[in-house]
Chain A
Amino acid sequence: MDKKEEPSIGLKLSPRLIELLAKLQEIELEDLEMDVGELEIWIQPGAATSFPNIKTALPAAAAKPVKIVESEFTPPVETYPGRVCEVKLGAMKNEGGTRGKTITIGGETAPPFYTFEKPTPNPPVISVDVFDMEVPLPKAVKMHVKDVTGDPAAWAKLAVEKFDADLVTIHLISVDPLQKNASPKEAVKTVEEVAQAVDVPLVVGGCGDPAKDTEVFEAVAETFAGERFLISSITRDMDVEKCAKFIKKHGHAVLAFTPMDLNLARELNRKLYEYLPREDIVMDLTTAALGYGLDYSFTNMERARLAALMGDLELAHPMSSGTTNAWAAREAWLKLSPEWEPRELRGPLWEVVTALTLLLAGVDLFMMMHPAAVKTIKDIIRQLMAGRGAGKSDKLAEWVLMKF
């Protein structure tokens, strides 16, 4: 791979993106039949309410202005009683950990990127997914990680060094009793390898089995006491008290997962408050893929953030999104008829659009997978963080005359 890196400016994607995107490979899946409907049934929503006629003469030119009538504009700035709490992830040597840096998320006092009101205190960050065993991956992703699947340490290194991940999520899915049923000890070993390979803060993910995850998280929390990992995740049907206690005892932070219901999110947070300070809690309100419920995720997160700013303390936590779920949409990975190809571009763009939508709803931590998607979101976050006043508009009108 060409090592030449370009500092990227906003949506200017570096040439490396092309490499990341362009590895078109052979195609496995069958064509999806497209339903090409009849053009005749084409209906415009609510059309045909007016049939304007060309006026033959100008209306009476009574008191028409002859020069621009000045108006004033005051930015519609509001103030909010609430503030999203800040959560610090990772701990360096002098803080009891071994990480090379720490990351702070949250702290917002205005809606996402309303920089006309307040600057965004901490940039949203990206954690790249690493799995501890072979998992089914979409082709567009697999081609970038095929040399490291099954080797979480190498995968984590790739994520940090090549994909520019801010954090790494090590998903311990091999502990699943229905999969390899790996022991907590083995899980600890995997985390150890990853923690040795990279020095960014880590997110530690479980397998989804409440009892086993509790066991594994406890072993990991204890072994890596003081590292301030984000334990992903605690759900309502786990022994919340037990989990919260060992997370607190060993100095980690928690990701509180609830399925698309703000009341459940509040309820889980209330339980956690009995054992943990607010600054140890990040929320995952569930991310559905673009086209498969993203609207619910978007609105849930937007509501949560607005409620937080209006003073709802139980929702005033940084938000995390499992953006990788974007790949659950068949349009992200399925081979479609030629007019929608190549899927090697469509897939990562699916992840990008899912992420951008939620970025504007207030997500602070993205868990992502495709390197081109990661790069794009990082570039855009950088631009949005730069704030206002940098836009150059003097030549903007020339788009009308632009030739190809």
Chain B
Amino acid sequence: MSQKTKLGIKELSPIDVYRLLPKTNCKECGFNNCMAFAAKLVNREVSVENCKPLLKKEHVNAYKQLKDMLKPAVKEIIIGTGDKAVKIGGKFVMHRHELAYFNPTCIAIDITDEMTDEEIIDRIKRTENFQYEHIGQTLRLDMLAVRSTSNSPEKFKATVKKVNENTRLPLILCSLNPEVLRAGLEAIPGARPLLYAVTKDNWREIADLALTYNCPVTVFAPNDIKLLKSLVKTLLEYGVEDLVLDPGTMYGEGLADTLNNFTMIRRSACKYGDELLGFPLLGVPMTVWMESASLAKEIVIWREACLAAMLMVRYADVLILHNIDGWALLPNIILRQSIYTDPRKPVAVEPGLRVFGTPDENSPVLFTTNFALTYYTVASDIESAKINAYLLVIDTEGTAVDSGVAGRKLTAEKVAESLKASGVENKVKHRKLIIPGKASRLSGEIEELTGWQVLVGPRDSSEIPKFIQEKWQIQR
């Protein structure tokens, strides 16, 4: 195949990019010169459009070349419009350490056209209201997938209309029947939902719908990547360009095939420049509900969550789920946050003394490590309880308390040094140090080295407020 003309993410150098920039060092982009901007572009930290001169007519060719040179291996697709839109895909690499993953996996919750109005509204509300605060971010669900189980165009149209009136989330319209999908689209003509799905049997009708309504469309070819590619090629030639790929989500004995298909598709796109497979991947963990009649609900939810986790790790850009129970969704939205964290960001925060509220000479002194996740968790627990305190952040080279103690990155010596260097002894009258419960084994040594009395705090910082209230007050 002659598609290997484009340079991979690793091969592209700032020089390649610099050559196409205006080279005037005008600083309009906020960087000192065009070379610095080129370096940022290669790292995908800025977009080409930040170079204003490049957008002028005389640079149109260079702009186009740059756009093409910098475009992701997996096309970025927009679903919905305006403030309702989400972006999926836009991936440059297979492995997050090669750069970073962009556009976190969108999670869609299903609704059917045979559910009662109450049930539909309830599922919309639960999806929209779902949120969890973790490390300074609010984690949410992203979309609704409206399925036609009635296969009736009128019913589907009415349901899509109802859903659209009651939500601000973008939609996936699901039916393999073009007449049903058409009816759904008629209800929300300008909303740009994702259509599900083109198959080998209905591709022409659905391609026409996608063109008429300017919608992205899912290509569904279960466990058949050759067919999937053929359909993609056909649609591209037909003029439909915004595609999403569903190679089928099978569980049980089909699990290995499912993960292999997702992996082969993503590798073909990222490492072999296969543009026919360079589209976002859609997984449907809710297929587990198809053989669930004899099983307890919790078991099926459990399975669905396992499948969702594996697909999230193995490249899914959209997932359609049935379950909305928090206990099963929480691990997955936190997993999503984890793997979509930019691995180039530092693991550690600045060590040193932090002041919370307005502490006085009687306020507690605590310590924690400079691992970013540990620090932010502890800080948010102290802040939300409005405690006036000093928090000593110890340089453990970015490890958490327990692994710091185990790996000897958090030692009594380090605590003593940091305590001394912080000057906190001039700020408080007492000589009492609250240490993390998971560092309790260091307490004797810390007392010896610092001369301070150690109070072993809770093992989890969520209990700091209670600890301060109960133990610190008594101490005083």
Residue of B nearest to A37 (CB): B138
**Residue B260 at the chain A interface, CB threshold 8 Å:** yes
**Residue A1 at the chain B interface, CB threshold 8 Å:** no
Inter-chain contacts of A290 with B (CB < 8 A)? 331, 334-335, 338
Which of A235, A259, A286, A380 meets B306, CB within 8 Å? A380
**Residue B222 at the chain A interface, CB threshold 8 Å:** yes
Inter-chain contacts of A336 with B (CB < 8 A)? 326
Which of B228, B322, B373 meets A292, CB within 8 Å? B373
Q: A55-B214, A58-B211, A75-B264 are in contact. Are A356 and B313 (CB under 8 A)?
A: yes
Q: Please choose the segment from A196-204, A223-231, A246-254, A294-302 that sits at the chain B interface, where 4 or more of its residues have CB less than 8 A away.
A: A294-302
Residue of A nearest to B207 (CB): A64
Chain A CB within 10 A, most for which of B81, B237, B251, B254: B254
Inter-chain contacts of A52 with B (CB < 8 A)? 81, 190, 192, 214
A59:B239 contact, CB within 8 angstroms: yes
Instruction: Enumerate A237-281 residues with CB–CB distance to B below 8 Å.
Output: 237, 257-260
Inter-chain contacts of B353 with A (CB < 8 A)? none
Digitize A307-345: 1 where CB-to-B-CB distance is under 8 Å, 0 elsewhere. 000000000000000000100101100101001111101
B78:A49 contact, CB within 8 angstroms: yes
B256:A259 contact, CB within 8 angstroms: no
B257:A389 contact, CB within 8 angstroms: yes
B256:A299 contact, CB within 8 angstroms: no
Inter-chain contacts of A10 with B (CB < 8 A)? 251-253, 255
Digitize B106-141: 1 where CB-to-A-CB distance is under 8 Å, 0 elsewhere. 000000101000000000000011111111001010
B462:A330 contact, CB within 8 angstroms: yes
Chain A CB within 10 A, most for which of B140, B189, B232, B334: B334
B78:A391 contact, CB within 8 angstroms: no
**Residue A27 at the chain B interface, CB threshold 8 Å:** no
Instruction: Enumerate A370-404 residues with CB–CB distance to B below 8 Å.
Output: 376, 380, 383-404
Which of A17, A235, A292 meets B400, CB within 8 Å? A292
Q: How far is the CB of A116 from chain B (nearest CB, A)?
A: 5
Digitize B161-184: 1 where CB-to-A-CB distance is under 8 Å, 0 elsewhere. 000000010000011100000000
**Residue B86 at the chain A interface, CB threshold 8 Å:** yes
**Residue B89 at the chain A interface, CB threshold 8 Å:** no
Which of A67, A72, A383, A400 meets B253, CB within 8 Å? A383
Digitize A54-83: 1 where CB-to-B-CB distance is under 8 Å, 0 elsewhere. 110011000111111111110110000000
Q: Please choose the segment from B13-21, B60-68, B296-304 that sits at the chain A interface, where 4 or more of its residues have CB less than 8 A away.
A: B296-304
B403:A259 contact, CB within 8 angstroms: yes
Instruction: Enumerate B244-284 residues with CB–CB distance to A below 8 Å.
Output: 248-260, 263-264, 267-268, 271-272, 274, 276, 284
Q: Please choose the segment from A39-47, A94-102, A163-171 that sits at the chain B interface, where 4 or more of its residues have CB less than 8 A away.
A: A39-47
Which of A21, A34, A69, A392 meets B254, CB within 8 Å? A392
**Residue A113 at the chain B interface, CB threshold 8 Å:** yes
Q: Please choose the segment from B34-42, B287-295, B424-432, B446-454 that sits at the chain A interface, where 4 or more of its residues have CB less than 8 A away.
A: B287-295
Q: A58-B211, A59-B239, A384-B255 are in contact. Are A114 and B176 (CB under 8 A)?
A: no
**Residue A306 at the chain B interface, CB threshold 8 Å:** yes
Which of B176, B284, B406, B444 meets A208, CB within 8 Å? B406
B338:A294 contact, CB within 8 angstroms: yes
Tell me the complex Cα distance, A360–B328, Å: 20
**Residue B387 at the chain A interface, CB threshold 8 Å:** no
Q: Please choose the segment from B22-30, B195-203, B359-367, B413-421 that sits at the chain A interface, where 4 or more of its residues have CB less than 8 A away.
A: B195-203
Inter-chain contacts of B214 with A (CB < 8 A)? 52-55
Q: Please choose the segment from A148-156, A187-195, A346-354 that sits at the chain B interface, where 4 or more of its residues have CB less than 8 A away.
A: A346-354
Which of B97, B253, B260, B373 meets A115, CB within 8 Å? B260
**Residue B225 at the chain A interface, CB threshold 8 Å:** yes
* Interface size bracket, A side: 35 or more
Which of B84, B212, B303, B332 meets A47, CB within 8 Å? B84
Inter-chain contacts of B306 with A (CB < 8 A)? 11, 352-353, 356, 376, 380
**Residue B286 at the chain A interface, CB threshold 8 Å:** yes
B400:A69 contact, CB within 8 angstroms: no
**Residue A220 at the chain B interface, CB threshold 8 Å:** no
**Residue B231 at the chain A interface, CB threshold 8 Å:** yes
Q: A51-B81, A59-B211 are in contact. Are A44 and B289 (CB under 8 A)?
A: no
Inter-chain contacts of A328 with B (CB < 8 A)? 400, 402
Q: How far is the CB of A162 from chain B (nearest CB, A)?
A: 19
Which of A45, A114, A331, A385 meets B260, CB within 8 Å? A114
Q: How far is the CB of A34 from chain B (nearest CB, A)?
A: 8
Tell me the complex Cα distance, A95–B259, Å: 39
Which of A51, A136, A331 meets B330, CB within 8 Å? A331
Inter-chain contacts of A343 with B (CB < 8 A)? 327
Q: How far is the CB of A102 from chain B (nearest CB, A)?
A: 26
Inter-chain contacts of A21 with B (CB < 8 A)? 298, 302
**Residue B233 at the chain A interface, CB threshold 8 Å:** yes
Q: A21-B298, A47-B86, A296-B347 are in contact. Are A54 and B174 (CB under 8 A)?
A: no
Given A47-B87, A392-B254, A402-B147, output 10 extra A-B contacts at Cβ < 8 Å: A9-B253, A11-B252, A13-B303, A71-B232, A75-B264, A235-B408, A286-B407, A291-B373, A391-B256, A396-B223
Give me 24 A-to-B residue pairs in the complex whose CB atoms sit less than 8 angstroms apart, sorted by A's number.
Answer: A10-B251, A11-B255, A12-B291, A21-B302, A44-B85, A47-B82, A52-B81, A64-B238, A69-B234, A71-B232, A178-B440, A208-B406, A259-B407, A291-B338, A295-B343, A340-B132, A346-B327, A352-B331, A383-B253, A383-B255, A391-B223, A396-B223, A396-B250, A396-B287
A interface with B by C-beta (< 8 Å):
9-13, 15, 17-18, 21-22, 30, 32-37, 39, 41-42, 44-55, 58-59, 63-73, 75-76, 113-116, 136, 176, 178, 208, 210, 235, 237, 257-260, 286, 288, 290-296, 298-299, 302-303, 306, 325, 328, 330-331, 334, 336, 339-343, 345-346, 349-350, 352-353, 356-357, 360, 376, 380, 383-404
